[in-house]
Amino acid sequence: MIIIKQIKSMSRWAKTQKNKGRTIGFVPTMGYIHEGHLSLVRKAKKDCDRVVMSIFVNPIQFGPKEDFKRYPRDSKRDYRLAKSAGVDLIFYPSTKDMYPDNFLTYVSVTGLTNILCGRSRPDHFKGVTTVVTKLFNIIAPDIAYFGQKDAQQAIVIKKMAEDLNFPIKISVLPTVREGGGLAMSSRNTYLSASERYDALVINRALKSAKRLISSGELNAYMVISHIKKLIKQKKSVRIDYVEVVDMNSLKKINKISGGVLIVIAVFIGKTRLIDNITLKI
Amino acid sequence: MIIIKQIKSMSRWAKTQKNKGRTIGFVPTMGYIHEGHLSLVRKAKKDCDRVVMSIFVNPIQFGPKEDFKRYPRDSKRDYRLAKSAGVDLIFYPSTKDMYPDNFLTYVSVTGLTNILCGRSRPDHFKGVTTVVTKLFNIIAPDIAYFGQKDAQQAIVIKKMAEDLNFPIKISVLPTVREGGGLAMSSRNTYLSASERYDALVINRALKSAKRLISSGELNAYMVISHIKKLIKQKKSVRIDYVEVVDMNSLKKINKISGGVLIVIAVFIGKTRLIDNITLKI
């Protein structure tokens, strides 16, 4: 497995692969690799000739009071896990190279980014779309892989790639869960044992909502109330939002029909966790 | 010469050229081709295996009260001139394909775009950087060519390409002028005979400023006053701005030294004209 830290070397490698007619699958990450990331790598290996993983904790997608500094980092462990899943190359750039002094250019998707997570994290998605644009230009992948756990991110990136005509397919793969149903996230490492236990309520509430809808409840307000009631049973869990939205536009819906996304964001202690399920009615 | 109107066909053609190992030079235009555009084509022909010209009057770079609707258009004439200069392919997309309903993504360069032309045209450069990003992704050129006449645009696009890591060289070529010194522009067609005559004062003032600086005047304020005085002799010409700025940062300077740009924007009737010279002291 190759490790490249320089942007220029990365571009050159990608160009060489293209010239040899090889396709590149790309898995962007902020490191602290878990099974969710590795499931993307395995799919990329099936689809493409070469798999590139980037590891970069992107400062501009964190708010001033968020966890940029304490975000978990362990490059040795990440390398080992990436290699075991078959990653061909890790791109591990420095912040200084990605955002030199006098960096001035931003990519924003309007409309989709001021709702849900964007409400409590106002510049988050602008940071994501900017870094993903940079990585797309540096790595020039044929397919880029994202996890459904970050549902809004996946929709925002798909919209960006479409609007800006990136010649790149965006592939979104199912959320990978721990045994108890908790969605895999690098941030799970922040949780104490009891917090991790309480966090199971998120997925439990989503599954219960799904059953409620299957039994005929199509009123989004009733479904949201049901979820909130379940979550509130755990005193350590504070709700940021619970919404039922259209799967593509992310707009709130009243009557559940068509492609629907049920999205949850909560705080447990200082840790912010998100999860979601998709339904087709 | 090939003419392509569909985005997908354009991408496919570009990919085929890449696979054959050919380099692509790209000249983006809004049509109504003049010698300025053709000088870019000729340079592109020298540098690259294939030359693509885009013709697209980009609605999102015009303000609500600007000349989008009356901007001169003549595709037949453009095709003839492009062909004569050796363009291999014209990309002529529709507005509907470039900006479908629910288009949401924008690229902005902060700081460099709220000054000079950005002051009287607030969303202009955001429109330019967004469409250029789209065209870069569709055409995937090795080198893209821009005219020095639009000095601020050239600097903004260079900054964008650098910040977003586009694997594309930005080549900026000298302003081409009509006999009397007027900078070539598609908008010159708006001018009446007498307006066109009065417009010559712009370049005359720039040349006079250059002589003044050569003779030892390094106070930017004095140089600006000199230019304004000359321009004000023409009653039909209304000054938007006259500035002496740093060649890279576009920041105003007081004492002329290093790489300096003298920039002028005026209105003659309804027509907005810009021009500039660069100096190295």
pLDDT in tens, A137-180: 999 999 999 999 999 999 999 999 999 999 999 999 999 999 99
- pLDDT tens figures, A169-224: 999 999 999 999 999 999 999 999 999 999 999 999 999 999 999 999 999 999 99
- A37 given a catalytic annotation: yes
pLDDT (0 to 100) of residue B46: 98
Taking the CA atoms of chain B, what radius of gyration do you get in angstroms?
19
Point out the residue among A104, A160, A164 whose CB comes nearest to the CB of B159.
Answer: A104
pLDDT (0 to 100) of residue B254: 97
Q: Which pTM does this prediction carry?
A: 0.97
Among B164, B246, B250, the strongest candidate for a mutation testing the A interface, having the largest count of A CBs within 10 A, is B164
DSSP state for residue A22 in the 8-state scheme: -
The answer to whether A120 faces chain B, any CB pair under 8 Å, is: no
Beta strands A271-280 and B105-109 are unpaired
- pLDDT tens figures, A103-136: 999 999 999 999 999 999 999 999 999 999 999 9
pLDDT (0 to 100) of residue A234: 97
Which CA distances in Å does A209 have to A149, B5, B169, B258?
17, 48, 53, 67
Report all structural domains of chain A as residue ranges with CATH numbers, in order of start: 2-173 (3.40.50.620), 186-280 (3.30.1300.10)
Average of per-residue pLDDT values in chain B: 97
Helix (H) or strand (E) holding A154: helix A151-163
pLDDT (0 to 100) of residue B205: 98
The answer to whether A107 faces chain B, any CB pair under 8 Å, is: yes
| CA atoms within a 13 Å half-sphere pointing along the CA-CB vector of B160 | 28
The answer to whether A101 faces chain B, any CB pair under 8 Å, is: no
Question: What is the C-alpha separation between B44 and B3, in angstroms, rounded?
Answer: 18
pLDDT (0 to 100) of residue B221: 98
Check A160 against B105: CB less than 8 A apart: yes
Contact present, A171 and A145 (Cβ < 8 Å): yes
Q: Chain B window 166-205: which residues touch A at a Cβ cutoff of 8 Å? A: 166-167
What phi-psi label fits residue B102: left (phi over 0), alpha (psi between -120 and 50 degrees) or beta?
A: left
Percent of chain A with pLDDT over 90: 99
pLDDT band of A76, cuts 50, 70, 90: very high
What ipTM was predicted for this assembly?
0.96
The answer to whether B111 faces chain A, any CB pair under 8 Å, is: yes
- pLDDT tens figures, A232-269: 999 999 999 999 999 999 999 999 999 999 999 999 99
- All residue ranges of chain B with pLDDT < 70 are none
